[in-house]
Structure 1
Amino acid sequence: MPRKLSNALTPLAVKNAKPGRHADGAGLHLLVKPSGARSWVYRFMLNGKSRDVGLGAAGQGGMSLADARDEAAALRLKVKAGVDPLEERDREAAEALAAAQAAKVAGTTFRDVAAAYIAANEESWRNPKHRQQWRNTLDTYVYPVIGNLPVAEVETAHVLKILEPIWKGKAETASRIRGRIETVLDSAKARGYRHGENPARWRGHLAQILPARTRLSRGHHKALPYEEIPAFVRALHKRDAVAALALEFTILTAARSGEVIGATWAEVDLDKAIWAIPADRMKAAKEHRVPLSPRAVAILERLQPLGSDYLFPGAKGGQLSGMAMGMLMRRMKVGATVHGFRSGFRDWAAECTGYAHEVAEMALAHTIENKVERAYRRGDLFDKRRRLMDDWAAYCASDGAAGAKVTPIRKADVA
């Protein structure tokens, strides 16, 4: 029967040990790697299985021989009591991790998660107004209630406290705020800061609490009837302001207001009468060429001497305010939106001209919904769109009734 080892190693032996496994006895071993790195290991037998548990580095800067023996002795007592040191270590590590995560979650507020979400996503939001609205609505309505609350503790009652005071009086704002809260809470769940259902979700939850309202869908902006647009354009001519020129240019090009106020001279070729809006400023993320009518070109030529990088500069430099055209319409007591002029243009094109449907749709930079048609339509119908926009400009400059119809011969030419 082999002799049982007990305290077989000495400090000098630990220092000079060659690569391999060196037993000290009672389950304690010194492991030396070919690199010279050395560590202590305690080997134990439990439930018929032999297992090793590392104790730490050995040698200079590591655990001494005496400390390793003390640690091994403590582990032997646990094994004798039926405790697996490896399982105990894993359990303690898991508990420590859970405690650390709980502390992190407890310290992570709704404001923290919202700020992280905005920072991660705002570059993909092409519209600066959209980025600002996110911040403004959270600052005004959400943060005063739950901004400093741990995101894990946000409940339905908190969401209702935010939404109920504005649900009827500011319905569209309230709807957007609800969606933003829901998005932030979803982000928090994805990051492990909260669990369970989202208290800001609409279907099957808030829809059963808040009164239903008519959903305002995209594009349903109050529009001025196309028959009234020529008179409105004539009224604009009486106002000597950049906002009035920007609004007329917006009407003549059937563009979105954000595309107009962000337009720069680098996008315009006055000689060819073309405005090329880059993809990163377009809703469909695709470059859009806009044919400029003679009146649209004249507006730009009038503004060119101002020397700004933007077609329509603001009073304090930079681009025109996003609210300038809307405020001008309110001062003129027009009960419509800037975006609504696109609807007026579309109605005029459909009811008063013979231009094909796709020509008008491309003039509005609408995406072709039919995938097959979109795959086969490679061109942008630019020449036909130029004739359409020239006719639209002529109509806008008319008295309305007399210019409502485009001559029938045009139908055969462009349909």
Structure 2
Amino acid sequence: MGNLTALAVKNAKPGDKLGDGNGLRLDVDKNGNRSWVFRYTSPTTGKERYAGFGSASEVTLADARDARDEARKLIRAGQDPIEHRNTKRTEAKVQASRSVSFQVYAEGFITGREAGWKNDKHRQQWRNSLRDYGYPHIGHLAVADVDTAAVLKVLRPIWDVKKETARRVRGRIEVILNAAKAEGLRTGENPALWRGHLDQVLARRKKSEVKHHPALPHEEMPKFWKSLAGETSDAARMLRWVILTACRFNEAADIDPAAEVKSDLWTIPAIRMKGEREHKVPLTGLALAQLPFRPVSDVTLSTCIARHTKTIATTHGMRSTFRDWAGDCTSFPRDIAEMALAHAVSDETEAAYRRSTALAKRRELMTTWAAYCSSASSS
């Protein structure tokens, strides 16, 4: 028997903490709400922890004692009661997820997210790519059962023939499975993870496959910018954004300013990055002035470029213009320019820079670039 009685539980007053023995006590908050608490030392960490057994209005004194006794058995067996309960709950969720297919979960995920995707093309690409390449292989599987072998069934048929599509499909599957895990519908590592996982079995893109895009000579940029600055269309604003941030077309086309732009920093999610890693872009005042813009197609941007220069140049080529300018006209370290373009640098190089230091140097680089681009406009 414990120290408490049913009458004592009923008559407990706000602020009371009434012990029953062996770690069980009744806590009453200032509003008179009574709850059972079990205090114990975790056998796995050695730290003091508190497990809640529910409201005294729903859990009787006898039931609370039974719960305490079960918890003490677990402790004697070397298990932490809270962790044991969490594990059981996760297992129950995973078991319940057996009735939720990957396709059903993915469609629900997209529906929940698409309101925040302002680009209609982006929304349609998610659905179409999974419909055409993902669902035929894994759509029928329970979301908890999608494993590496299943993901490879999706990717292998298209990996060498539809390289960009395959990369995006893999990334979308990874994001969806991460969300399912966050909701407790999956456990374990993500089978669609690239680094340290799928990159071990799927061929990397060869450098010889990289296309070189016609670029505007950096000497012509100030004159080009002065002409471009006089246009107020969405295409012009988007193109100026691409130039000032040195980003890729798809990174700008799928931008969600409300979610990704905070103060003077643009955080591009890993799903949109060629290197599969989140990328942060320092923003100048001139760059921020281009927002908002309605994303347009790459063809529309190319047409916009042609309106302001006779030089043959592409949207992607603007990244080369930036890189050539940084190398020819500034003293910024090469690796800082490469980081600004989200190009891969060696682990040793990354380790040589503190993240905050590299970002500060990149901010200085982008500020200098913006000043150069607009130099003819301000003269």
TM-score, length-normalised on structure 1?
0.43
Decide which structure has the larger Cα Rg and report it: 1
TM-score, length-normalised on structure 2?
0.46
* Larger helix share, 1 or 2: 2
